[in-house]
Amino acid sequence: MRFGALLVSVVSPFFLCVNAAPQAVSTQSVGGETLGAILNALNLGIVAKINTLITLDSLSTNIVSVNFDVKNPLILELTIDRVVSTAGINGTVYAKFDQTFAKPLVVPILGTANSGTFGNVLLTQGIDASLGIIPLGVLDLIKTDVYVRQVDFATVDEIPVDNIL
Protein backbone atom coordinates (compact mmCIF):
# COMPACT_ATOMS: atom_id res chain seq x y z
CA MET A 1 0.00 0.00 0.00
CA ARG A 2 2.83 2.43 0.78
CA PHE A 3 4.36 1.89 -2.66
CA GLY A 4 1.00 2.57 -4.33
CA ALA A 5 0.49 5.72 -2.28
CA LEU A 6 4.00 6.89 -3.09
CA LEU A 7 3.52 6.21 -6.80
CA VAL A 8 0.22 8.07 -6.93
CA SER A 9 1.58 11.06 -4.98
CA VAL A 10 4.57 11.34 -7.31
CA VAL A 11 2.52 11.05 -10.50
CA SER A 12 -0.16 13.59 -9.61
CA PRO A 13 -1.60 15.46 -6.64
CA PHE A 14 -4.84 14.21 -5.12
CA PHE A 15 -7.94 16.33 -5.21
CA LEU A 16 -10.68 15.74 -2.66
CA CYS A 17 -14.06 17.29 -3.18
CA VAL A 18 -15.70 17.90 0.17
CA ASN A 19 -19.40 18.55 0.42
CA ALA A 20 -20.89 19.49 3.76
CA ALA A 21 -24.14 20.61 5.28
CA PRO A 22 -24.39 23.62 7.57
CA GLN A 23 -23.90 22.81 11.25
CA ALA A 24 -25.11 24.44 14.47
CA VAL A 25 -26.02 28.11 14.66
CA SER A 26 -23.72 30.93 15.79
CA THR A 27 -24.47 32.87 18.95
CA GLN A 28 -23.24 36.17 17.41
CA SER A 29 -26.14 38.48 16.60
CA VAL A 30 -26.61 40.88 13.70
CA GLY A 31 -29.92 42.76 13.77
CA GLY A 32 -31.48 40.13 16.04
CA GLU A 33 -30.50 37.22 13.78
CA THR A 34 -27.12 35.65 13.19
CA LEU A 35 -25.68 35.30 9.72
CA GLY A 36 -25.11 31.63 10.55
CA ALA A 37 -28.76 31.27 11.61
CA ILE A 38 -29.96 32.85 8.38
CA LEU A 39 -27.77 30.60 6.23
CA ASN A 40 -28.74 27.52 8.26
CA ALA A 41 -32.47 28.35 8.18
CA LEU A 42 -32.30 28.68 4.41
CA ASN A 43 -30.17 25.50 4.24
CA LEU A 44 -27.43 27.46 2.45
CA GLY A 45 -23.87 26.44 3.21
CA ILE A 46 -21.12 28.61 1.81
CA VAL A 47 -18.55 25.93 0.90
CA ALA A 48 -18.88 24.88 -2.71
CA LYS A 49 -15.76 22.71 -2.94
CA ILE A 50 -12.52 21.94 -1.06
CA ASN A 51 -9.42 20.69 -2.85
CA THR A 52 -6.66 18.97 -0.89
CA LEU A 53 -3.21 18.69 -2.46
CA ILE A 54 -1.00 15.90 -1.16
CA THR A 55 2.65 16.05 -2.18
CA LEU A 56 5.58 13.72 -1.71
CA ASP A 57 6.60 15.77 1.37
CA SER A 58 3.17 15.07 2.88
CA LEU A 59 4.18 11.44 3.30
CA SER A 60 6.70 12.40 5.97
CA THR A 61 5.18 15.60 7.43
CA ASN A 62 1.42 14.81 7.54
CA ILE A 63 0.92 18.36 6.23
CA VAL A 64 -1.10 19.09 3.09
CA SER A 65 -2.22 22.19 1.21
CA VAL A 66 -5.83 23.20 0.70
CA ASN A 67 -7.91 25.63 -1.29
CA PHE A 68 -11.66 26.03 -1.22
CA ASP A 69 -14.43 27.74 -3.13
CA VAL A 70 -16.88 29.88 -1.19
CA LYS A 71 -20.32 30.67 -2.57
CA ASN A 72 -22.21 33.71 -1.38
CA PRO A 73 -25.99 33.19 -1.47
CA LEU A 74 -26.64 36.61 0.06
CA ILE A 75 -27.28 40.01 -1.48
CA LEU A 76 -24.41 41.54 0.47
CA GLU A 77 -20.70 41.11 -0.06
CA LEU A 78 -18.87 38.79 2.33
CA THR A 79 -15.31 39.53 3.41
CA ILE A 80 -13.67 36.58 5.16
CA ASP A 81 -10.66 37.28 7.37
CA ARG A 82 -10.12 33.86 8.95
CA VAL A 83 -11.36 30.27 8.80
CA VAL A 84 -10.78 27.66 11.51
CA SER A 85 -11.94 24.18 10.54
CA THR A 86 -11.84 20.49 11.36
CA ALA A 87 -13.02 17.89 8.87
CA GLY A 88 -13.50 14.15 9.08
CA ILE A 89 -15.74 11.13 8.74
CA ASN A 90 -18.23 9.88 11.36
CA GLY A 91 -16.92 12.28 14.00
CA THR A 92 -13.26 11.29 13.53
CA VAL A 93 -11.15 14.33 12.66
CA TYR A 94 -8.77 13.74 9.75
CA ALA A 95 -7.72 17.33 8.95
CA LYS A 96 -7.61 20.66 10.72
CA PHE A 97 -6.44 24.16 9.94
CA ASP A 98 -6.53 27.75 11.16
CA GLN A 99 -6.06 30.13 8.23
CA THR A 100 -5.92 33.91 8.60
CA PHE A 101 -5.85 35.57 5.21
CA ALA A 102 -3.18 38.24 4.71
CA LYS A 103 -5.47 39.76 2.09
CA PRO A 104 -9.09 39.11 3.11
CA LEU A 105 -11.13 36.81 0.88
CA VAL A 106 -13.89 38.87 -0.74
CA VAL A 107 -16.91 36.94 -2.00
CA PRO A 108 -19.08 39.06 -4.30
CA ILE A 109 -22.84 39.34 -4.00
CA LEU A 110 -24.41 36.06 -5.21
CA GLY A 111 -20.96 35.01 -6.46
CA THR A 112 -18.10 32.66 -5.65
CA ALA A 113 -14.44 33.08 -4.78
CA ASN A 114 -11.48 30.77 -4.26
CA SER A 115 -9.40 31.02 -1.10
CA GLY A 116 -6.12 30.43 -2.90
CA THR A 117 -3.94 27.53 -1.88
CA PHE A 118 -2.46 27.58 1.62
CA GLY A 119 -0.42 25.04 3.55
CA ASN A 120 -0.10 23.88 7.14
CA VAL A 121 -3.23 21.72 7.06
CA LEU A 122 -2.52 18.93 9.53
CA LEU A 123 -3.64 15.38 8.82
CA THR A 124 -4.43 14.46 12.43
CA GLN A 125 -4.70 10.71 11.76
CA GLY A 126 -1.51 10.63 9.68
CA ILE A 127 -1.05 10.14 5.96
CA ASP A 128 -1.73 6.38 5.91
CA ALA A 129 -5.19 6.68 7.49
CA SER A 130 -5.98 9.75 5.39
CA LEU A 131 -5.18 7.98 2.12
CA GLY A 132 -7.74 5.36 3.09
CA ILE A 133 -10.61 7.87 3.03
CA ILE A 134 -9.88 9.28 -0.45
CA PRO A 135 -12.19 6.78 -2.21
CA LEU A 136 -15.10 8.11 -0.13
CA GLY A 137 -14.78 11.45 -1.95
CA VAL A 138 -16.37 13.46 0.88
CA LEU A 139 -15.59 14.71 4.36
CA ASP A 140 -17.89 16.25 6.95
CA LEU A 141 -17.02 19.71 8.22
CA ILE A 142 -17.13 18.81 11.90
CA LYS A 143 -16.55 22.32 13.24
CA THR A 144 -15.92 25.39 11.17
CA ASP A 145 -15.71 28.98 12.33
CA VAL A 146 -15.68 31.71 9.68
CA TYR A 147 -14.71 35.25 10.65
CA VAL A 148 -16.70 37.55 8.38
CA ARG A 149 -16.32 41.29 8.18
CA GLN A 150 -19.79 42.66 7.63
CA VAL A 151 -20.26 46.13 6.18
CA ASP A 152 -23.39 48.16 6.71
CA PHE A 153 -24.09 51.75 5.83
CA ALA A 154 -22.70 53.33 9.01
CA THR A 155 -20.06 51.03 10.49
CA VAL A 156 -17.74 48.15 9.86
CA ASP A 157 -18.06 45.27 12.34
CA GLU A 158 -16.00 42.11 12.56
CA ILE A 159 -17.82 39.08 13.90
CA PRO A 160 -17.06 35.37 14.02
CA VAL A 161 -19.75 33.30 12.35
CA ASP A 162 -19.64 29.76 13.71
CA ASN A 163 -20.43 26.61 11.80
CA ILE A 164 -21.90 27.99 8.59
CA LEU A 165 -19.76 26.00 6.19
Of the two residues 120 and 150, the one the predictor is more confident about is 120
Q: What is the pLDDT of residue 69?
A: 93
Query: Lowest mean pLDDT: which of 26-35, 49-58, 90-99?
Result: 26-35
Q: Rounded mean pLDDT of 52-60?
A: 91
pLDDT in tens, 75-118: 888 899 999 999 999 999 999 999 999 999 999 999 999 999 99
Could you tell me where the DSSP H helices lie in 24-71? 35-41, 58-61
Query: Lowest mean pLDDT: which of 21-35, 60-74, 90-104?
Result: 21-35
Q: Rounded mean pLDDT of 45-57?
A: 87
Q: What is the pLDDT of residue 104?
A: 93
56 pLDDT above the threshold of 90: yes
2-162 CATH pick, 2.50.20, 1.10.1760, 2.60.40, 2.40.160: 2.60.40
Q: What is the pLDDT of residue 135?
A: 86
pTM across the whole model: 0.67
* 137 neighbors 4 (Cβ within 8 angstroms): no
Q: Where are the domains of the chain?
A: 2-162
Q: How far is CA 164 from the centre of its chain?
A: 10
Task: For residue 130, give the H/E element and its range.
Answer: helix 126-131
